[in-house]
Amino acid sequence: MPEPSAAEADAPAATGDRPAPGAVRVLTGWGRTSPSAARVLAAGDRAEIGDALRTANGAKRPAVIARGLGRSYGDAAQCAGGLVIDTTGLAGIGPIGEDGVVEVGAGVSLSALMRAGLREGWFVPVTPGTRQVTIGGAVAADIHGKNHHRDGSFCRHVISLTLATPTGVHEISESADPELFWASAGGMGLTGVMLAACIRMRPVETAWMRVDSECHGDLDAVMDALERVDATHRYSVAWLDCSARDRHFGRGVVDAGDHADRSELAAAHRRDPLAPPGDARLRLPFVLPTSLVNGASVAAFNRAWYAKSRSASGRIRHLGGFFHPLDAVADWPRLFGPRGFVQYQFVVPFELAEVVGRAIERLQQASAPCSMAVLKRFGPGDPGPLSFPEAGWTLALDLPVGPPDLRRALREIDELVLAAGGRVYLAKDSRLDAATFAAMYPRLGEFEAVRRRVDPDGLLQSDLSRRLRIGPVE
Amino acid sequence: MTDAFSRPDSILVLGATSDIARALVGQLVADGCERVVLAGRDPDRLSDAATEAKDAGARLVTTTTFDATQINEAAAVVDWGFSAGGRIDLVVVAVGLLSDQPEDERDPVRVARCISVNFTWPAAALARVAHHLREQGAGRAVVLSSVAGVRVRRSNYIYGSAKAGLDAYARTLNQSLVGSGGSVMVVRPGFVVSRMTEGRKAPPIASTTESVAKDTVRGLERGAAVVWSPTSLQGIFTILRLLPEVIWRRLPF
């Protein structure tokens, strides 16, 4: 039960406050919902972060969270009225050892790490649908990729972490303070500000993928195909047409890929087989005044996409196009107009696969257009108490804010997911309520215990942690 | 904190005994708002409103009374509200008084009171609300204006001009909050069947407190600066606003 706290009581402005570093900026997540303002400190080095954490307690509203490239869809990297530490200045990439181990700054993007690594034949162990995420963010969300069924999530490939907490800097790993290490894996930055990480990269011969694509006319066929290709491919994912109804309900395209060998490349590509992916070719220069993403445009796009897709095996594609198709257009969320959009991703155990279909059905009932739907099978999860992936089906949906029934529909889907023993992904969440969250993550207590040890004053807070009541309640 | 659909977790209501405010609190609590801080004039009605909020499912309900003719106390009421609620996601300003115009016209003190309750006190309170929103780096205020202030009629010009002042004040305060994380939304209901309008003849377009509350919640979700309730009033008043004075003063209201 939250008590109105005396510390929050209003005092005359700014008496006795320390000089505050950084300018006030309004921040949102990638989905552009729920803006809030905070002082943003662009940290140049570790010492500056240490100072900020030490002195934050003297501020009138002591609250700090780290922010990388702002790719969390919801409110995870914002801290209304507090201090946001921009870590993208921690951009050092060490030499890659013969065993593929590299030490990188927390602000290094997967894109930068890919560029550095590919030249020497190393690829990142796990990549999500964008390469524009920082290492700190990748650890904090314990991100997953198309290879989760085989390689697990990101933190399985993290050998050690350097974490700045209000009680000091910790070097942690699976053997040194494993509780803090695993609490930080998926801990949404609430255990501290990541400074650096040692990561084990994956050896590759080329920057190209050998991809098998299969079109399937309904959800059952898509799910069967995913299960089948998982046994034979390192990477797999299915794109679903959520607008399709009746006998086409849940139709989609399954993509399964593996790293291509040099011998498989066309002669033109064999000369520079490790060429890294390029920059975004297009940019949306401003937020559209109204969303272009609506029921009609989404249905038309989905129909066209499905119609143009062809089953094909053994196609050679560059890994940029295979892993990160959306990175081709920078700032694409601006398409969704000023109201922004919600991403919803859940996982349910394999036995309760029917929740996937029921969720899509409920959204169709709410006339909520779903501009992107991605289905995948997870392998076993990591030990992190707040780490999202666990064995089962995961469905990720992009939903523009607007349909009047969308909020209620998502709450009902929360209930379905919870009843199935599943959960919602925090890196994408912007609307879960505290009680449902606590029920979905039953190991929250374990997480809180670790957090209290390194942050006894509850300095580390984000708008997400406040909304979900993680840590001390205001 | 508010969610992606702009549903607050904590609200402070100034003028909490107003029927529109009660309907709005009811909907927000039903949507998951847990902390409710209510400030109103009449202690009995205030405790009814508190019971209503608790019954609807609010976890924490706190109340205080205030008098909207006491301008000097406006800031203290707001400060109390923010400290009682911890962090306030949404402030509802529903303070207002619709009195008997012919009687008001004869008594300058009553004119001053009407302006005070409908404009001066809410404006003073909003100044303090803005301070808190800036400091929080987040939060919104909803200000109950009225179409009566959009084009002021002679049969209701004291109330109407006070609402016109409040409307302009709140809209401009919203602009001054750009970049602070806070914002203000103005709601312009038409004739609403409620305690305030008891005994008055309802015009053809009359709405209910529930529909005003619903339009308000939708307005929050779409990030509106101004909400008309019902929406059709926007078109009607756009035309009424254009009428020249010579015609306007001949109309029968």
Q: At a CB cut-off of 8 Å and minimum separation 6, what does A63 contact?
A: A56, A79, A81, A82, A83, A459, A460, A461
Report strand pairing: B60-65 vs B35-40. parallel
Q: Which amino acid is at A377?
A: R
SS3 A77: coil
Q: How many CB atoms lie within 10 A of CB B111?
A: 17
CA distance A474 to chain B (A): 6
CA distance A472 to chain B (A): 12
Inter-chain touch B222–A339, beta carbons under 8 Å: yes
Contact B32, A433 (CB under 8 A): yes
Closest CA to A56 of A85, A78, A15: A85
Interface of A with B (CB under 8 A): 1-2, 4-6, 8-10, 13, 24, 26, 31, 33-38, 60-61, 74-75, 79-82, 338-340, 342, 401-402, 404, 406-407, 430-433, 463-464, 466-467, 473-474
Q: Show residues of chain A in contact with B223, CB under 8 Å.
A: 338-339
- The Cα–Cα gap between A404 and A339 comes to 13
Contact A113, A197 (CB under 8 A): no
Tokens matching residue B248: 């306007």
- The Cα–Cα gap between B115 and B166 comes to 10
Contact A147, A127 (CB under 8 A): no
Inter-chain touch B132–A10, beta carbons under 8 Å: yes
For chains A and B, count residue pairs whose Cβ atoms are closer than 8 Å.
111
Backbone angles phi, psi at A180, to 5 degrees: -70, -35
Which residue in A65, A75, A415, A474 has the most chain B C-beta atoms within 10 A of its own C-beta, making it the best mutation to test that interface?
A474
Residue B160 has pLDDT above 50, yes or no: yes
Q: At a CB cut-off of 8 Å and minimum separation 6, what does A397 contact?
A: A242, A343, A344, A345, A359, A363, A370, A372, A373, A374
Per residue in A287-316, pLDDT (tens digit) is 888 888 888 899 998 999 888 888 999 999
Inter-chain touch A8–B86, beta carbons under 8 Å: yes
CA distance B98 to chain A (A): 33
Measured CA distances, B124 to A232, B81, B98, B135 (Å): 69, 15, 19, 17
What would the mean pLDDT of B97-105 be, rounded to a whole number? 88
Q: Nearest by CB to B5, from A26, A81, A431: name it.
A: A431
Report strand pairing: A341-348 vs A423-424. antiparallel
Residue A12 has a pLDDT of 36
Q: At a CB cut-off of 8 Å and minimum separation 6, what does B74 contact?
A: B121, B124, B125, B128
Tokens matching residue B232: 């059709």
Positions in chain A whose pLDDT score sits under 70 = 1-21, 473-474
Does the global pTM surpass 0.80?
yes
- The Cα–Cα gap between B35 and B26 comes to 12
Per residue in A128-150, pLDDT (tens digit) is 999 999 999 999 999 999 999 99
Inter-chain touch B137–A80, beta carbons under 8 Å: yes
Inter-chain touch A2–B86, beta carbons under 8 Å: yes
Tokens matching residue B101: 């115009």
Q: Show residues of chain B in contact with A397, CB under 8 Å.
A: none
Residue A13 has a pLDDT of 38
Inter-chain touch A401–B221, beta carbons under 8 Å: yes
Residue ranges of alpha helices (H) inside A272-405 are 295-308, 319-323, 354-365
Inter-chain touch B1–A5, beta carbons under 8 Å: no
- Average pLDDT of chain A to the nearest whole number: 92
A463, closest residue in chain B (CA to CA): B1
Inter-chain touch A2–B218, beta carbons under 8 Å: no
Cα-trace Rg, chain B: 17
Per residue in A79-92, pLDDT (tens digit) is 999 999 999 999 99
Measured CA distances, A194 to A43, A104, A172, B232 (Å): 12, 11, 11, 53
Q: What is the largest CA-CA distance in chain A?
A: 72
Q: Show residues of chain B in contact with A432, CB under 8 Å.
A: 3
Closest CA to B17 of B37, B36, B39, B35: B39
Residue A60 has a pLDDT of 73
What is the CA A271 to chain-centroid distance, rounded? 34
Cis, peptide link before residue A369, omega less than 30° from 0: no
Which residue in A3, A24, A36 has the most chain B C-beta atoms within 10 A of its own C-beta, making it the best mutation to test that interface?
A36
Q: At a CB cut-off of 8 Å and minimum separation 6, what does B87 contact?
A: A8, A466, A474, B1, B10, B136, B139
Contact A95, A102 (CB under 8 A): yes
CA distance A386 to chain B (A): 20
Q: Nearest by CB to B87, from A8, A75, A404: name it.
A: A8
Count of CA atoms in the C-beta half-sphere (13 A) of B35: 25
A399, closest residue in chain B (CA to CA): B4
Residue A326 has a pLDDT of 86
Backbone angles phi, psi at A210, to 5 degrees: -100, 115
Q: Nearest by CB to B1, from A4, A26, A75: name it.
A: A75
Per residue in B61-91, pLDDT (tens digit) is 999 999 999 999 999 999 999 998 789 999 9
Contact A398, A363 (CB under 8 A): no
Interface residue B2 vs chain A (CB under 8 A): yes
Closest CA to B12 of B83, B108, B71: B83
Q: At a CB cut-off of 8 Å and minimum separation 6, what does A198 contact?
A: A101, A102, A103, A104, A158, A159, A160, A161
SS3 A422: coil
Measured CA distances, A268 to A122, A263, A272, B64, B230 (Å): 21, 12, 8, 77, 65
Q: Nearest by CB to A342, from B4, B9, B138: name it.
A: B4
Q: Nearest by CB to B138, from A5, A37, A407: name it.
A: A37
Residue A474 has a pLDDT of 58
Q: How many CB atoms lie within 10 A of CB A299?
A: 16
Backbone angles phi, psi at B103, to 5 degrees: -70, -40
Closest CA to B217 of B71, B8, B1, B76: B8
Residue B21 has pLDDT above 70, yes or no: yes
Contact A238, A226 (CB under 8 A): yes
Of B66, B159, B169, B191, the active-site residue reads B159
Burial of B241 (0-12, 13-18, 19+ CB in 10 A): exposed
- The Cα–Cα gap between A420 and A422 comes to 5
Q: Does B159 qualify as catalytic in the annotation?
A: yes
Residue A21 has a pLDDT of 66
Q: How many CB atoms lie within 10 A of CB A99?
A: 10
Tokens matching residue A244: 């399709």
Tokens matching residue A381: 């999860």
Q: Which residue has the tokens 């990030």?
A: B223
Interface residue B3 vs chain A (CB under 8 A): yes
Minimum mean pLDDT range among A249-263, B96-110, B133-147, B193-207: B193-207
Report strand pairing: B191-193 vs B206-208. parallel
Per residue in B164-201, pLDDT (tens digit) is 999 999 999 999 999 999 999 999 999 998 988 888 88
Inter-chain touch A406–B5, beta carbons under 8 Å: yes
Q: How many CB atoms lie within 10 A of CB B223?
A: 16
Contact B97, B117 (CB under 8 A): yes
- The Cα–Cα gap between A156 and B123 comes to 56
Q: Which residue has the higher pLDDT, A474 or B123?
A: B123
What is the CA A289 to chain-centroid distance, rounded? 27
Residue ranges of alpha helices (H) inside A236-373 are 267-270, 295-308, 319-323, 354-365
Residue B67 has a pLDDT of 96
Q: Show residues of chain B in contact with A38, CB under 8 Å.
A: 137, 181
Interface residue B54 vs chain A (CB under 8 A): no
Measured CA distances, B98 to A128, A246, A296, B40, B157 (Å): 58, 56, 46, 16, 11
Q: Show residues of chain B in contact with A466, CB under 8 Å.
A: 1, 87
Q: Nearest by CB to A4, from B6, B59, B85: name it.
A: B85
Interface residue B59 vs chain A (CB under 8 A): yes
A407, closest residue in chain B (CA to CA): B5
CA angle B57, B61, B66 (to 5 degrees): 140
- The Cα–Cα gap between A463 and A82 comes to 10
CA distance B114 to chain A (A): 30
**Could you write out the three-class secondary structure of chain B?**
CCCCCCCCCEEEEECCCCHHHHHHHHHHHHCCCCEEEEEECCHHHHHHHHHHHHHHCCCEEEEEECCCCCHHHHHHHHHHHHHHHCCCCEEEECCCCCCCHHHHHCCHHHHHHHHHHHHHHHHHHHHHHHHHHHHHCCEEEEEECCHHHCCCCHHHHHHHHHHHHHHHHHHHHHHHCCCCCEEEEEEEECEEECHHHCCCCCCCCEEEHHHHHHHHHHHHHHCCCEEEECCHHHHHHHHHHHCCHHHHCCCCC
Q: Show residues of chain A in contact with B79, CB under 8 Å.
A: 9-10
Name the strand (E) or helix (H) holding A409.
helix A406-419
Residue B189 has a pLDDT of 96
Inter-chain touch B87–A339, beta carbons under 8 Å: no
* Chain B, window 203-232: residues with a beta carbon less than 8 angstroms from a chain A beta carbon: 218, 221-223
Report strand pairing: B90-93 vs A312-318. unpaired
